[in-house]
Structure 1
């Protein structure tokens, strides 16, 4: 009997251990916040908040104290781990969701006046009868005209839950109108411009990587291919990133087989590889990718993968240098932690994350330093070699550690903008002038069917420029001695702004790109590569 018991003893111990692990797992899963909360024992932070609540001489807002404590805690981590109050979390989700709930207008705040500059076709405002040029005087009972109201306040007053009504008081042709508008879902495309530069080369501008980016990209590529696209200029300049999965899916459309796109790894996150998994829509055509110092995160994942596999020529300036992956963890009060959980690495194993051991301020100021020390202007001051070399299949040597270094450097234009022109840009006078010029000349622009035909036939350098000079005098700005080269640059910008009012961002970039040195370099390389 004793021997039989000894034989079964190990099996019994194993069963007890398995049962204990199963019960422990279930108990942990039953805890709030998915098991992240600790068991009964309170933390020193919780104890301190309770003592303050019970003993402090004055009444205090404990939620504010908690929020400040969390912010201080997050400040001790990397620059991209942040605390998001409920409103910030809502705006973050909206920015990447591809839609928000509102009335479907764009507006400009010129001094103390809110001017409607665009009305979404088929949107709530168009259905309510709003027009470009209307001025918003009141939103419900809140007066906007004649007050210095922040853009955030205006946005929060206009936006609201789908199906609710917002009452706007509008000034149109010196008449006050009361216009009720029923809010609805408003789409926010992340692919903001797409057109054929010439018979072979297409251009796509991605503003960010949101939840709809891959779908927008595929629909656009199918359209452009029907128009003859065999070469592509993909513009990621100013793109701060977003959802990593969207960038991976787009990379899959450029890379063949099951090539590695990116992998992630962290102390508490095991290594995870992301590979191509489907035949791509553009695996063999000529490809150039435009980047700059504001191209970050998902933009760097995409451009880094294409560079590592010798698939694209990267053109422009060194990217931001953000190689950290964040996840959002909701908290019980509606706020959240946007927490870095791992680092990402390009297919060759490059981490492109910049050092952040000197604090957040130094880390963020490094971008401005690139303008001050010449890195944004001159290729010879734009080298970041971290020691370790990485060799591509084609034999090129790459480096990590400070962003994606372009294969072809194109610096910022060194032509200086006069203080007079800068003043008109910064105080809103330039935008105000072009907007009202458009309102007064809509009939003149009606015959033009495309931005290209508009650009070829329209000459803003004469009558429009003289009107601008007269308008500037109202701000005591004298433009009579502006150099001809600067006059041409400003006139081109005017033309692009006018095109945007009629053809949206696609029209704006079609005009602006005619003189954009980075785009012109990309097109030239496509011809010769």
Structure 2
């Protein structure tokens, strides 16, 4: 786990790459092949058959086909991609918004399935599974000590809706092993992390991706916030790599009045398709703030662009990723798929926010690296966009195309220059894993505490901060965190809260100290 501090943010950013790579999707009917395309297809089919039947050695022609497909797509844009059957199944499940299973969040901890927390009201919680439990067997299948890959584990724990599986569980707190029957059920995969109030009149909704269920989740959260007195809504799209564009359009429609342009697309034949808002949006008059960062892409940029270009709200944060290409998906019989770019999308003022990709995919995805080196994450003046890409909104505000949505209000990365790795580290899986280990050893220290008592304990107690420093050192991560002590303690406390009290309490701790939230609540300045 040895890492150079200079590259840590880039490595952490890389974990979002797949989501951004395939994050914008519009599905259209499959078209028939042209005569020229049919000729090429016939040539490829004949070559594969020739190799399969006549080549001197045994060859896996499936792998040759995959290499050929990837090679062809590699000559195109960065978002025309081949997706293997395993990846496609995972993506499809995530975008569907639910799956059938036992309903637990877990880690593979020392070769054992360790429960972080059962899903609220899910099958495992109903069966009495508790945080910290180890699942040793699913039926007669041994799950510990085998170094099973995650997809194999999911296969053992998933099943048909209504089917039962007997789990053998070890509970560390009582040092006992027992068996329990769990009936599999539909388990939601939330795309809206939280809908909560920041104060008496400002509501906050965080969207992590745009899936099939996103609009329904969003609308449910919005209505609850309105009932609680929300007159202003903050939509957090940070690190949201996109998803179904129509879901972003549906959300934009809630805020825009009838016949306002939301987005339009153009293909190579010049066909233009425009999408407009309809009447009766559920929040057409209240204030809107959209939070974005360098990992906000595709559908996130459509929503932000629609709000910005219609002078409907304020965009706060840092320049977004810059993905303005639309993909059509073609599925294959083996479960794999190709997503091919078939159009560009444009914001209402006519902006394409797609960044350049003429220097190849490697250079395209290293744009994130360049933003660090240029200082763009710390100073708005370091954002360089050609004057030819200026556009004006109906009220005369200047907006820019050609490389992401530039915010109205710039908020720099919330740590001192040179320590940017700390901010990214504290929002990574490493923190979740550390907190789980600590709770596994000290869970009784938190037993019976109310949330207020918990917060007081975390504020006064330094032991977990010190332990986290030791944890980083043990794993060879030479990262100095003392300059960012308050930030580190805040995110540690938030992760403890998540694993002890649930998702919403994580945000209750993180948001009051969040730099972009402060920009909303304390007055917006550039």
- Global fold match (TM > 0.5): yes
Higher relative contact order (CA 8 A, sep 6+): 2
What CA distance in whole angstroms lies between the structure 1 residues aligned with 2:422 and 2:264? 49
- Residue aligning to 1:509: 507
What CA distance in whole angstroms lies between the structure 1 residues aligned with 2:254 and 2:102? 35
Asked if 2 retains the 8 angstrom alpha-carbon contact of 1:110 and 1:432, the reply is no
Deviation at 1:322, TM superposition (A): 0.3
1:435 aligns with 2:439: yes
Deviation at 1:108, TM superposition (A): 2.5
- Residue aligning to 1:96: 95
- Residue aligning to 2:6: none
What CA distance in whole angstroms lies between the structure 1 residues aligned with 2:306 and 2:442? 43
What CA distance in whole angstroms lies between the structure 2 residues aligned with 1:142 and 1:244? 41
Alpha-carbon RMSD across the aligned residues, in angstroms, is 3.2
TM-score (normalised: structure 2) = 0.84
What CA distance in whole angstroms lies between the structure 2 residues aligned with 1:70 and 1:437? 49
- Residue aligning to 2:204: 203
**What SS does the corresponding residue of 1:194 show, helix, strand or coil?**
strand
1:351 aligns with 2:348: no
Using the TM superposition, name which of 122-131 and 42-51 deviates more: 122-131
Give deviations 1:341-374, integer Å, cap 9, x for gaps: 1110000100000111111111111123212332
Count of matched residue positions in the alignment of Structure 1 and Structure 2: 489
1:63 aligns with 2:67: no
What CA distance in whole angstroms lies between the structure 1 residues aligned with 2:396 and 2:448? 55
Q: What does 1:317-332 correspond to in 2, within 5 Å?
A: 317-332=318-333
In structure 1, the gaps of 5 or more residues are 1-31
- Residue aligning to 2:49: 50
Give deviations 1:228-250, integer Å, cap 9, x for gaps: 10011111101111111111111
**What SS does the corresponding residue of 2:502 show, helix, strand or coil?**
helix
CA 72–59 in structure 1, closer or farther in 2 if over 3 Å, else same: same
Asked if 2 retains the 8 angstrom alpha-carbon contact of 1:319 and 1:403, the reply is yes
**What SS does the corresponding residue of 1:252 show, helix, strand or coil?**
helix
- Residue aligning to 1:22: none
What CA distance in whole angstroms lies between the structure 1 residues aligned with 2:234 and 2:453? 23
Using the TM superposition, name which of 255-264 and 149-158 deviates more: 149-158
Asked if 2 retains the 8 angstrom alpha-carbon contact of 1:429 and 1:472, the reply is no
Deviation at 1:434, TM superposition (A): 4.4
What CA distance in whole angstroms lies between the structure 2 residues aligned with 1:49 and 1:206? 45
Deviation at 1:460, TM superposition (A): 1.4
Deviation at 1:310, TM superposition (A): 1.1
Asked if 2 retains the 8 angstrom alpha-carbon contact of 1:269 and 1:342, the reply is no
Asked if 1 retains the 8 angstrom alpha-carbon contact of 2:422 and 2:484, the reply is no
- Residue aligning to 1:280: 281
- Residue aligning to 1:486: 484
**What SS does the corresponding residue of 1:441 show, helix, strand or coil?**
helix
Using the TM superposition, name which of 357-366 and 368-377 deviates more: 368-377
Deviation at 1:439, TM superposition (A): 2.6
- Residue aligning to 2:158: 159
Asked if 2 retains the 8 angstrom alpha-carbon contact of 1:110 and 1:428, the reply is no
What CA distance in whole angstroms lies between the structure 2 residues aligned with 1:496 and 1:87? 33
1:221 aligns with 2:222: yes
TM-score (normalised: structure 1) = 0.84
Deviation at 1:106, TM superposition (A): 0.4
1:523 aligns with 2:521: yes
Q: What does 1:102-501 correspond to in 2, within 5 Å?
A: 102-140=101-139, 143-146=142-145, 148-173=147-172, 174-268=175-269, 270-385=271-386, 387-415=388-416, 426=430, 430-436=434-440, 439-445=443-449, 447-448=450-451, 453=452, 458-463=456-461, 465-466=462-463, 469=466, 486-501=484-499
Deviation at 1:394, TM superposition (A): 1.5
In structure 2, the gaps of 5 or more residues are 1-28
Asked if 2 retains the 8 angstrom alpha-carbon contact of 1:461 and 1:488, the reply is no
Give deviations 1:72-127, integer Å, cap 9, x for gaps: 11111111111122222221111111111221110123444432011123322123
What CA distance in whole angstroms lies between the structure 1 residues aligned with 2:384 and 2:146? 48
CA 386–324 in structure 1, closer or farther in 2 if over 3 Å, else same: farther
Deviation at 1:217, TM superposition (A): 1.4
Deviation at 1:386, TM superposition (A): 5.5
Deviation at 1:141, TM superposition (A): 5.5
What CA distance in whole angstroms lies between the structure 2 residues aligned with 1:348 and 1:40? 39
What CA distance in whole angstroms lies between the structure 2 residues aligned with 1:524 and 1:419? 26
Give deviations 1:415-456, integer Å, cap 9, x for gaps: 3659999799849763234433773234342x33xxxx467x
Using the TM superposition, name which of 89-98 and 165-174 deviates more: 165-174
Using the TM superposition, name which of 167-176 and 36-45 deviates more: 36-45
